[in-house]
Amino acid sequence: MTQPKSDDSWVGRTFDDFLIRPQLGLTESRRDTALTSRLTTALSIELPIVSANMDSVTGWEMAQAMALEGGVGIIHRALPIDRQAEMVRRVKRSYGAVIEQPFRLPRGTSIRDAKSFARCHSNHAILIEESEGSGILAGLLTSRDIPWLPELEDRPVDEFMTPFERLHTSPPGIPEETAERLMFEHRIERLPLVDAERRIRGLITLRDILFFRRRPFSSKDRKGRLLAGAAIGARGDFLERARAMVEAEVDCLVIDIAHGHSQDMGRTIEAQPERLTNIQ
């Protein structure tokens, strides 16, 4: 390939060689300036900043912080697929108008296991179901219900939870304003959503309602959950990783490659167009 000849008339410039003269300002205050930007054709963010998909930069904590501030974080791929998917789920589950898949444990679980489960998921309230996988609400166990005495750690959660008969619940689809009024009237902080068969359909927390009211600029999806992105590669298990991220309800995927406009990337796209199209 013939290299282009250098242009002898070309002269390099640096930033100090230019004076930028601004035009007339049309806003009275910087507070009136909107920074809303398109991340994709379907997603907008209030703060046009995206954190890098590096293992030293964006884990689930950084992705959560970015979304809370109005940007978005791209969770890195330098880890197994299941762990990356779990990071996406943690961001999506951390705050939301409705927690669609609240944490749950079955009746008979020991207090020791419940405490370990709560620490692992940084969770202060666990829905108790009648049996594992049944999805039928039996009660609610909060941090206030868990005994701190060591001799009680082998006792079942059934003895300390608030049973279903004493819980205030609501059917799914309740408006946020109605849920907030109901929680205030009954002085409760969590409202389980159950159907006519007592099956768990979600959870609304007062913390999330009040939190998002103070942060209207945070990046959220249509269901009121924080936005989260994830990186995939261009070879190897990239399609399996992409599928797992979509199943974890990631909002956007970023291809982690040093040079996207390359033959390597082109071969990847040309080789498997149907699989790429059908990821979702």
Using pLDDT thresholds of 50, 70 and 90, give the confidence band for residue 244. Answer: very high
Query: Number of folded domains in the chain?
Result: 2
| The predicted structure's pLDDT at residue 214 | 85
The pTM of the full predicted model, rounded to 2 decimals, is: 0.72
pLDDT of residue 261: 75
Cα(93)–Cα(226) distance, integer angstroms: 8
CA distance 51 to 48: 10
Last residue of a domain, one of 196, 214, 232: 214
Residues 177 and 274 in one domain: no
Mean pLDDT of 273-277: 52
Pair 205, 188: CB distance under 8 Å: no
Give residue 273's pLDDT band: very low, low, confident or very high (50, 70, 90): low
Domain identity same for 192 and 235:
no
Domain shared by 122 and 196, yes or no: yes
> Are residues 234 and 210 located together in one domain of the fold?
no
pLDDT per residue over 167-204, tens digit each?
Answer: 999 999 888 889 989 999 999 999 999 999 999 999 99
Same domain? For 114 and 184 the reply is: yes
Is residue 163 over pLDDT 80? yes
For residue 11, being part of any structural domain is answered with no
Distance CA 209, CA 171 (A): 18
In this prediction, what percent of the chain has a pLDDT beyond 90? 51
Flag whether 2 is in a domain.
Answer: no
- Long-range contacts of range 183-190, CB-CB < 8 Å, 24 or more positions apart? 190/125, 190/140, 190/142
The domain containing residue 233 runs over which residues?
49-80+219-280
For 73-114, the pLDDT digits (tens) are: 999 999 999 999 999 999 998 887 788 888 899 999 999 999
Task: Answer with the residue of higher pLDDT: 252 or 121.
Answer: 252
